[in-house]
Protein backbone atom coordinates (compact mmCIF):
# COMPACT_ATOMS: atom_id res chain seq x y z
CA UNK A 1 0.00 0.00 0.00
CA UNK A 2 1.02 3.63 -0.34
CA UNK A 3 1.11 6.12 2.50
CA UNK A 4 0.45 9.75 1.68
CA UNK A 5 -0.12 12.83 3.80
CA UNK A 6 0.01 16.61 3.79
CA UNK A 7 2.91 18.46 5.34
CA UNK A 8 2.13 21.31 7.71
CA UNK A 9 4.53 23.99 6.43
CA UNK A 10 3.53 25.85 3.28
CA UNK A 11 6.12 25.67 0.49
CA UNK A 12 8.40 28.50 -0.61
CA UNK A 13 8.60 29.56 -4.31
CA UNK A 14 9.42 26.63 -6.56
CA UNK A 15 12.92 27.35 -7.76
CA UNK A 16 15.60 24.65 -8.17
CA UNK A 17 17.28 25.80 -4.95
CA UNK A 18 13.99 25.81 -3.05
CA UNK A 19 13.28 22.25 -4.21
CA UNK A 20 16.82 21.22 -3.21
CA UNK A 21 16.39 22.90 0.19
CA UNK A 22 13.10 21.10 0.79
CA UNK A 23 14.83 17.84 -0.06
CA UNK A 24 17.57 18.50 2.48
CA UNK A 25 15.13 19.58 5.17
CA UNK A 26 12.83 16.65 4.59
CA UNK A 27 15.35 13.84 4.19
CA UNK A 28 18.27 15.21 6.21
CA UNK A 29 20.87 15.09 3.45
CA UNK A 30 21.59 16.90 0.17
CA UNK A 31 20.31 15.43 -3.11
CA UNK A 32 23.14 14.42 -5.46
CA UNK A 33 21.05 15.18 -8.56
CA UNK A 34 18.94 18.16 -9.61
CA UNK A 35 16.95 17.97 -12.84
CA UNK A 36 14.77 20.46 -14.72
CA UNK A 37 11.87 19.33 -16.93
CA UNK A 38 10.03 21.90 -19.06
CA UNK A 39 6.37 22.11 -20.00
CA UNK A 40 5.50 22.73 -23.64
CA UNK A 41 3.51 24.81 -26.04
CA UNK A 42 2.24 23.54 -29.37
CA UNK A 43 2.14 26.00 -32.26
CA UNK A 44 -0.03 23.78 -34.44
CA UNK A 45 -0.92 20.10 -34.90
CA UNK A 46 -3.52 19.22 -32.27
CA UNK A 47 -4.88 15.69 -31.80
CA UNK A 48 -2.68 14.57 -34.66
CA UNK A 49 -0.01 12.78 -32.62
CA UNK A 50 -2.07 9.67 -31.81
CA UNK A 51 -3.12 9.59 -35.46
CA UNK A 52 0.53 9.21 -36.46
CA UNK A 53 0.55 12.72 -37.92
CA UNK A 54 2.60 15.89 -37.40
CA UNK A 55 2.98 18.28 -34.47
CA UNK A 56 4.97 21.49 -33.93
CA UNK A 57 5.66 21.94 -30.21
CA UNK A 58 8.40 23.67 -28.23
CA UNK A 59 9.63 23.16 -24.67
CA UNK A 60 9.15 26.42 -22.76
CA UNK A 61 10.45 28.24 -19.72
CA UNK A 62 7.72 26.96 -17.40
CA UNK A 63 9.51 24.13 -15.69
CA UNK A 64 9.49 21.54 -12.95
CA UNK A 65 12.53 20.83 -10.79
CA UNK A 66 13.48 17.53 -9.22
CA UNK A 67 15.90 16.75 -6.39
CA UNK A 68 16.51 13.00 -6.42
CA UNK A 69 18.71 10.44 -4.68
CA UNK A 70 18.86 6.67 -4.60
CA UNK A 71 18.45 5.39 -1.07
CA UNK A 72 19.48 2.38 1.03
CA UNK A 73 15.96 2.05 2.36
CA UNK A 74 13.52 -0.18 0.49
CA UNK A 75 11.16 2.77 0.10
CA UNK A 76 10.25 5.21 -2.63
CA UNK A 77 9.66 8.49 -0.81
CA UNK A 78 8.04 11.24 -2.86
CA UNK A 79 7.38 14.84 -1.87
CA UNK A 80 5.33 17.35 -3.84
CA UNK A 81 6.95 20.65 -2.95
CA UNK A 82 4.01 22.67 -4.30
CA UNK A 83 1.16 20.66 -2.82
CA UNK A 84 2.99 20.06 0.45
CA UNK A 85 2.18 16.37 0.32
CA UNK A 86 4.18 13.17 0.59
CA UNK A 87 3.72 9.61 -0.61
CA UNK A 88 5.75 6.50 0.25
CA UNK A 89 5.66 3.03 -1.24
CA UNK A 90 7.95 -0.01 -1.50
CA UNK A 91 9.60 -0.40 -4.93
CA UNK A 92 8.32 -3.96 -5.28
CA UNK A 93 4.75 -2.89 -4.56
CA UNK A 94 4.37 -0.02 -7.00
CA UNK A 95 0.76 0.44 -8.12
CA UNK A 96 -1.71 3.15 -9.06
CA UNK A 97 -2.70 5.02 -5.88
CA UNK A 98 -5.36 7.45 -4.69
CA UNK A 99 -2.73 10.22 -4.76
CA UNK A 100 -3.11 11.69 -8.24
CA UNK A 101 0.22 13.52 -8.48
CA UNK A 102 2.15 10.48 -7.23
CA UNK A 103 0.67 8.30 -9.98
CA UNK A 104 2.63 10.14 -12.67
CA UNK A 105 5.85 9.30 -10.82
CA UNK A 106 4.90 5.76 -9.87
CA UNK A 107 3.75 5.12 -13.43
CA UNK A 108 7.28 5.92 -14.59
CA UNK A 109 8.80 3.56 -12.02
CA UNK A 110 6.45 0.80 -13.22
CA UNK A 111 7.49 1.43 -16.83
CA UNK A 112 11.20 1.23 -15.99
CA UNK A 113 10.53 -1.99 -14.12
CA UNK A 114 8.70 -3.37 -17.16
CA UNK A 115 11.83 -2.60 -19.16
CA UNK A 116 13.86 -4.78 -16.80
CA UNK A 117 15.31 -1.99 -14.65
CA UNK A 118 15.67 -2.97 -10.98
CA UNK A 119 14.50 0.28 -9.36
CA UNK A 120 15.69 0.47 -5.74
CA UNK A 121 14.34 2.79 -3.06
CA UNK A 122 14.83 6.48 -3.80
CA UNK A 123 13.94 9.91 -2.43
CA UNK A 124 12.46 12.62 -4.62
CA UNK A 125 11.17 16.16 -4.13
CA UNK A 126 9.68 17.96 -7.11
CA UNK A 127 7.97 21.29 -7.74
CA UNK A 128 7.95 24.12 -10.23
CA UNK A 129 6.01 26.68 -12.13
CA UNK A 130 4.19 24.85 -14.94
CA UNK A 131 0.56 25.90 -14.44
CA UNK A 132 -1.59 22.85 -13.67
CA UNK A 133 -4.55 22.16 -15.96
CA UNK A 134 -3.44 24.88 -18.39
CA UNK A 135 -2.69 22.48 -21.24
CA UNK A 136 1.07 23.04 -20.86
CA UNK A 137 1.78 19.41 -20.06
CA UNK A 138 2.73 19.57 -16.44
CA UNK A 139 2.05 15.84 -16.29
CA UNK A 140 4.53 15.06 -19.08
CA UNK A 141 7.10 17.23 -17.30
CA UNK A 142 6.57 15.23 -14.10
CA UNK A 143 6.99 11.94 -15.92
CA UNK A 144 9.95 12.98 -18.05
CA UNK A 145 11.80 14.62 -15.18
CA UNK A 146 11.72 11.50 -13.05
CA UNK A 147 12.41 9.13 -15.97
CA UNK A 148 15.49 11.21 -16.82
CA UNK A 149 16.66 11.41 -13.18
CA UNK A 150 16.39 7.66 -12.55
CA UNK A 151 18.07 6.88 -15.85
CA UNK A 152 20.98 9.11 -14.75
CA UNK A 153 21.25 7.80 -11.20
CA UNK A 154 20.96 4.14 -12.20
CA UNK A 155 23.17 4.50 -15.27
CA UNK A 156 20.61 2.55 -17.30
CA UNK A 157 21.53 4.26 -20.57
CA UNK A 158 17.96 4.32 -21.93
CA UNK A 159 17.86 6.74 -24.87
CA UNK A 160 15.67 9.85 -24.82
CA UNK A 161 13.09 8.54 -27.29
CA UNK A 162 12.60 5.42 -25.19
CA UNK A 163 12.27 7.59 -22.08
CA UNK A 164 9.54 9.52 -23.92
CA UNK A 165 7.75 6.25 -24.68
CA UNK A 166 8.06 5.08 -21.09
CA UNK A 167 6.64 8.41 -19.87
CA UNK A 168 3.77 8.22 -22.38
CA UNK A 169 2.93 4.68 -21.24
CA UNK A 170 3.00 5.85 -17.62
CA UNK A 171 0.29 8.34 -18.54
CA UNK A 172 -1.77 5.61 -20.24
CA UNK A 173 -1.52 3.13 -17.41
CA UNK A 174 -1.38 5.29 -14.28
CA UNK A 175 -3.40 8.36 -15.34
CA UNK A 176 -5.76 6.62 -17.76
CA UNK A 177 -5.24 9.17 -20.56
CA UNK A 178 -4.47 7.50 -23.89
CA UNK A 179 -2.25 10.38 -24.98
CA UNK A 180 0.04 10.54 -27.99
CA UNK A 181 3.79 11.14 -27.81
CA UNK A 182 3.89 14.92 -28.37
CA UNK A 183 4.10 16.20 -24.80
CA UNK A 184 6.74 13.79 -23.56
CA UNK A 185 8.75 14.24 -26.76
CA UNK A 186 8.64 18.04 -26.45
CA UNK A 187 9.72 18.03 -22.81
CA UNK A 188 12.72 15.82 -23.61
CA UNK A 189 13.71 17.09 -27.06
CA UNK A 190 13.08 20.83 -26.81
CA UNK A 191 15.77 23.18 -28.07
CA UNK A 192 16.30 26.83 -27.06
CA UNK A 193 15.29 29.23 -29.83
CA UNK A 194 13.44 26.56 -31.81
CA UNK A 195 10.18 24.79 -32.33
CA UNK A 196 10.32 21.16 -33.39
CA UNK A 197 8.28 19.37 -36.01
CA UNK A 198 7.78 15.73 -35.13
CA UNK A 199 6.53 13.07 -37.49
CA UNK A 200 4.69 10.95 -34.94
CA UNK A 201 4.92 7.88 -37.16
CA UNK A 202 8.60 7.74 -38.09
CA UNK A 203 9.64 9.77 -35.02
CA UNK A 204 11.87 11.85 -37.27
CA UNK A 205 12.07 15.46 -36.20
CA UNK A 206 13.34 18.82 -37.47
CA UNK A 207 14.06 21.95 -35.52
CA UNK A 208 12.81 25.25 -36.95
CA UNK A 209 14.38 28.45 -35.61
CA UNK A 210 11.76 30.53 -33.82
CA UNK A 211 12.87 33.83 -32.37
CA UNK A 212 10.57 34.61 -29.46
CA UNK A 213 12.07 38.11 -29.28
CA UNK A 214 10.82 38.86 -32.81
CA UNK A 215 7.44 37.19 -32.32
CA UNK A 216 6.16 36.58 -28.83
CA UNK A 217 4.34 33.44 -27.79
CA UNK A 218 1.69 34.56 -25.35
CA UNK A 219 -0.61 32.11 -23.59
CA UNK A 220 -3.99 33.10 -22.17
CA UNK A 221 -5.29 30.74 -19.53
CA UNK A 222 -9.05 30.24 -19.71
CA UNK A 223 -8.90 28.94 -16.15
CA UNK A 224 -11.25 26.15 -17.18
CA UNK A 225 -10.52 22.48 -16.58
CA UNK A 226 -13.42 20.33 -17.63
CA UNK A 227 -13.89 17.23 -15.52
CA UNK A 228 -14.78 15.23 -18.63
CA UNK A 229 -11.61 16.27 -20.46
CA UNK A 230 -9.85 12.93 -20.02
CA UNK A 231 -12.81 10.76 -20.99
CA UNK A 232 -13.64 13.01 -23.97
CA UNK A 233 -9.99 12.83 -25.05
CA UNK A 234 -10.07 9.04 -25.02
CA UNK A 235 -13.39 9.15 -26.88
CA UNK A 236 -11.88 11.28 -29.67
CA UNK A 237 -9.12 8.76 -30.05
CA UNK A 238 -11.68 5.95 -30.37
CA UNK A 239 -13.65 7.95 -32.94
CA UNK A 240 -10.52 8.29 -35.06
CA UNK A 241 -9.82 4.57 -34.74
CA UNK A 242 -13.37 3.85 -35.84
CA UNK A 243 -12.82 6.03 -38.92
CA UNK A 244 -9.66 4.11 -39.79
CA UNK A 245 -11.45 0.80 -39.35
CA UNK A 246 -14.11 1.86 -41.87
CA UNK A 247 -11.63 3.30 -44.37
CA UNK A 248 -9.54 0.13 -44.23
CA UNK A 249 -12.43 -1.88 -45.60
CA UNK A 250 -11.87 0.03 -48.83
CA UNK A 251 -8.24 1.08 -48.60
CA UNK A 252 -6.22 -1.58 -46.80
CA UNK A 253 -3.12 0.61 -47.00
CA UNK A 254 -4.66 3.12 -44.57
CA UNK A 255 -2.98 2.36 -41.24
CA UNK A 256 -3.99 5.58 -39.52
CA UNK A 257 -5.63 8.90 -40.39
CA UNK A 258 -2.17 10.03 -41.45
CA UNK A 259 -2.68 7.94 -44.57
CA UNK A 260 -6.24 9.06 -45.30
CA UNK A 261 -7.31 11.74 -47.78
CA UNK A 262 -10.33 14.05 -47.78
CA UNK A 263 -11.41 12.46 -51.02
CA UNK A 264 -11.54 9.01 -49.42
CA UNK A 265 -13.51 10.44 -46.52
CA UNK A 266 -15.96 12.13 -48.92
CA UNK A 267 -16.44 8.91 -50.89
CA UNK A 268 -17.41 6.99 -47.74
CA UNK A 269 -19.17 9.81 -45.96
CA UNK A 270 -22.41 7.90 -45.45
CA UNK A 271 -20.71 4.84 -44.10
CA UNK A 272 -18.62 6.94 -41.72
CA UNK A 273 -21.63 8.88 -40.48
CA UNK A 274 -21.57 12.64 -39.80
CA UNK A 275 -19.72 12.56 -36.49
CA UNK A 276 -16.87 10.23 -37.48
CA UNK A 277 -16.60 12.06 -40.79
CA UNK A 278 -16.11 15.40 -39.03
CA UNK A 279 -13.55 14.04 -36.59
CA UNK A 280 -11.52 12.38 -39.36
CA UNK A 281 -11.73 15.34 -41.72
CA UNK A 282 -10.41 17.60 -38.97
CA UNK A 283 -7.36 15.37 -38.45
CA UNK A 284 -6.59 15.07 -42.18
CA UNK A 285 -6.82 18.86 -42.58
CA UNK A 286 -4.81 19.56 -39.44
CA UNK A 287 -1.94 17.44 -40.73
CA UNK A 288 -1.96 19.46 -43.94
CA UNK A 289 -1.99 22.65 -41.90
CA UNK A 290 1.10 21.65 -39.92
CA UNK A 291 3.07 20.99 -43.06
CA UNK A 292 1.88 24.24 -44.65
CA UNK A 293 2.66 26.16 -41.45
CA UNK A 294 6.23 24.82 -41.46
CA UNK A 295 6.67 26.04 -45.02
CA UNK A 296 5.41 29.48 -43.93
CA UNK A 297 7.88 29.45 -41.07
CA UNK A 298 10.72 28.72 -43.45
CA UNK A 299 9.60 31.67 -45.56
CA UNK A 300 9.34 33.88 -42.44
CA UNK A 301 5.69 34.45 -43.30
CA UNK A 302 4.14 34.81 -39.86
CA UNK A 303 0.87 36.20 -41.25
CA UNK A 304 0.30 33.04 -43.31
CA UNK A 305 1.40 30.91 -40.36
CA UNK A 306 -1.15 32.67 -38.19
CA UNK A 307 -3.96 31.95 -40.66
CA UNK A 308 -3.23 28.24 -40.26
CA UNK A 309 -3.60 28.69 -36.51
CA UNK A 310 -7.02 30.33 -36.85
CA UNK A 311 -8.12 27.55 -39.19
CA UNK A 312 -6.85 24.99 -36.69
CA UNK A 313 -8.95 26.58 -33.97
CA UNK A 314 -12.06 26.59 -36.14
CA UNK A 315 -11.57 22.87 -36.84
CA UNK A 316 -11.04 22.07 -33.16
CA UNK A 317 -14.17 24.06 -32.29
CA UNK A 318 -16.57 22.93 -35.03
CA UNK A 319 -15.41 19.51 -36.20
CA UNK A 320 -13.37 18.00 -33.41
CA UNK A 321 -15.51 19.71 -30.74
CA UNK A 322 -12.87 20.05 -28.07
CA UNK A 323 -13.02 23.80 -27.52
CA UNK A 324 -15.22 25.67 -25.05
CA UNK A 325 -16.82 29.09 -24.85
CA UNK A 326 -13.97 30.62 -22.83
CA UNK A 327 -11.37 29.51 -25.39
CA UNK A 328 -13.50 30.73 -28.29
CA UNK A 329 -13.90 34.15 -26.68
CA UNK A 330 -10.13 34.38 -26.15
CA UNK A 331 -9.41 33.52 -29.79
CA UNK A 332 -12.03 35.90 -31.16
CA UNK A 333 -10.76 38.71 -28.94
CA UNK A 334 -7.18 38.05 -30.09
CA UNK A 335 -8.25 38.28 -33.71
CA UNK A 336 -9.38 41.89 -33.14
CA UNK A 337 -5.99 43.06 -31.85
CA UNK A 338 -3.58 44.56 -34.41
CA UNK A 339 -0.22 42.81 -34.41
CA UNK A 340 -1.64 39.37 -33.56
CA UNK A 341 -0.56 36.88 -36.23
CA UNK A 342 -2.61 33.94 -35.07
CA UNK A 343 -4.41 32.38 -32.11
CA UNK A 344 -5.88 29.01 -31.26
CA UNK A 345 -6.72 26.76 -28.35
CA UNK A 346 -3.80 24.59 -27.37
CA UNK A 347 -3.48 21.00 -26.15
CA UNK A 348 -6.21 18.47 -25.51
CA UNK A 349 -8.92 21.12 -25.12
CA UNK A 350 -12.05 21.60 -22.95
CA UNK A 351 -10.17 24.41 -21.21
CA UNK A 352 -6.55 25.29 -20.66
CA UNK A 353 -4.79 27.99 -22.66
CA UNK A 354 -4.92 29.66 -26.03
CA UNK A 355 -1.61 30.19 -27.79
CA UNK A 356 -1.13 33.54 -29.52
CA UNK A 357 1.64 34.81 -31.76
CA UNK A 358 1.98 38.52 -31.12
CA UNK A 359 4.30 41.25 -32.43
CA UNK A 360 6.49 42.33 -29.47
CA UNK A 361 5.33 45.96 -29.47
CA UNK A 362 1.69 44.84 -29.32
CA UNK A 363 1.95 42.45 -26.38
CA UNK A 364 0.81 44.97 -23.80
CA UNK A 365 -2.20 46.06 -25.89
CA UNK A 366 -2.97 42.41 -26.58
CA UNK A 367 -3.03 41.46 -22.91
CA UNK A 368 -5.17 44.49 -22.09
CA UNK A 369 -7.73 44.03 -24.84
CA UNK A 370 -8.10 40.27 -24.63
CA UNK A 371 -8.24 40.47 -20.83
CA UNK A 372 -10.97 43.13 -21.01
CA UNK A 373 -13.07 41.15 -23.50
CA UNK A 374 -12.78 38.04 -21.36
CA UNK A 375 -13.57 39.92 -18.16
CA UNK A 376 -16.61 41.52 -19.71
CA UNK A 377 -17.97 38.12 -20.65
CA UNK A 378 -16.88 35.96 -17.69
CA UNK A 379 -16.27 38.46 -14.89
CA UNK A 380 -12.61 37.62 -14.29
CA UNK A 381 -9.28 38.43 -15.89
CA UNK A 382 -7.41 35.50 -17.44
CA UNK A 383 -3.80 34.80 -16.49
CA UNK A 384 -1.35 35.33 -19.32
CA UNK A 385 2.17 33.98 -19.76
CA UNK A 386 4.87 35.05 -22.18
CA UNK A 387 7.06 32.09 -22.96
CA UNK A 388 10.37 31.44 -24.66
CA UNK A 389 11.56 28.10 -25.96
CA UNK A 390 14.18 26.26 -23.93
CA UNK A 391 16.17 23.04 -24.06
CA UNK A 392 14.66 19.71 -23.10
CA UNK A 393 14.99 17.91 -19.76
CA UNK A 394 18.50 18.19 -18.34
CA UNK A 395 20.57 17.97 -15.22
CA UNK A 396 21.04 21.26 -13.39
CA UNK A 397 24.74 21.70 -12.75
CA UNK A 398 26.21 23.36 -9.63
CA UNK A 399 26.01 26.75 -11.42
CA UNK A 400 22.22 26.46 -11.69
CA UNK A 401 21.86 25.28 -15.33
CB of 348 to ligand GAF, least distance (A): 3
CB of 47 to ligand GAF, least distance (A): 5
Considering beta carbons, is residue 50 or 374 the nearer one to ligand GAF? Answer: 50
Please state the closest distance from residue 358 (CB atom) to ligand GAF, in A. Answer: 22
| Overall residue count recorded for the chain in this entry | 401
In the annotated binding site for Mg(2+), the residues are 139, 171
Quick one: 86 or 168, whose CB is closer to ligand GAF?
Answer: 168
Known catalytic membership, residue 61: no
Closest to ligand GAF by CB, 128 or 352: 352
CB-wise, 233 or 366, nearer to ligand GAF?
233
Q: Which of 237, 248, 252 is nearest to 272 (CA)?
A: 248
Cβ-closest position to ligand GAF: 179
**Beta carbon of residue 140, minimum distance to ligand GAF (angstroms, whole number):** 7
Of 333 and 353, the one with the shorter C-beta distance to ligand GAF is 353
CB of 163 to ligand GAF, least distance (A): 16
Looking at the Cβ atoms of 162 and 232, the one nearer to ligand GAF is 232
In the annotated binding site, the residues are 46-49, 80, 133-139, 171, 233
Interaction site with ligand GAF (CB under 6 A): 46-47, 49-50, 137, 179-180, 182-183, 347-348
Show the 3-state SS of the chain: CCEEEECCCCCCCCCHHHHHHHHHHHHCCCCCEEEEEEEEEECCCCCCHHHCCEECEEEEEEEEEEEEEECCCCCEEEEECCCCEEEEECHHHCCCCCCHHHHHHHHHHHHHHHCCCCCCCEEEEEEECCCCCCCCCHHHHHHHHHHHHHHHHHCCCCCHHHHHHHHHHHHHHHHCCCCCCHHHHHHHHCCCCEEEEEECCCCCEEEEECCCCCCEEEEEEEEEECCCHHHHHHHHHHHHHHHHHHHHHHCCCCCCHHHCCHHHHHHCHHHHHHHHHHHHHHHHHHHHHHHHHHHHHHCCCHHHHHHHHHHHHHHHHHCCCCCCHHHHHHHHHHHCCCCEEEEEECCCCCEEEEEEEECHHHHHHHHHHHHHHHHHHHCCCCEEEEECECCCCEECCCCCC
CB of 139 to ligand GAF, least distance (A): 8
User: Of the listed 82, 183, 259, 319, which one is catalytic?
Assistant: 183
Using DSSP bridges, classify how beta strands 33-42 and 76-80 pair: parallel, antiparallel or unpaired: unpaired
Instruction: Report, as residue numbers or ranges, the catalytic residues.
Output: 183
Amino acid sequence: FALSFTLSQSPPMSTPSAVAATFERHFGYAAPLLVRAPGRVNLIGEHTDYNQGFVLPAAVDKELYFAVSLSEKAQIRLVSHDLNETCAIAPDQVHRTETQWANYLLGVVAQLQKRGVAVPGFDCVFGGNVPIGAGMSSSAAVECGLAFALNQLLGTGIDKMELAHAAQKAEHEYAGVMCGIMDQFASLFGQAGSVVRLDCRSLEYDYFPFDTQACRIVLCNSGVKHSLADSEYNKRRQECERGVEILRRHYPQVQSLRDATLEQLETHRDELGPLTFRRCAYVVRENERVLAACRHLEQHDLAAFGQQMYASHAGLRDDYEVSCEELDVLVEAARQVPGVYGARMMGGGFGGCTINLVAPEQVEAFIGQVGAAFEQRFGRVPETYQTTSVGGVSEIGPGGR
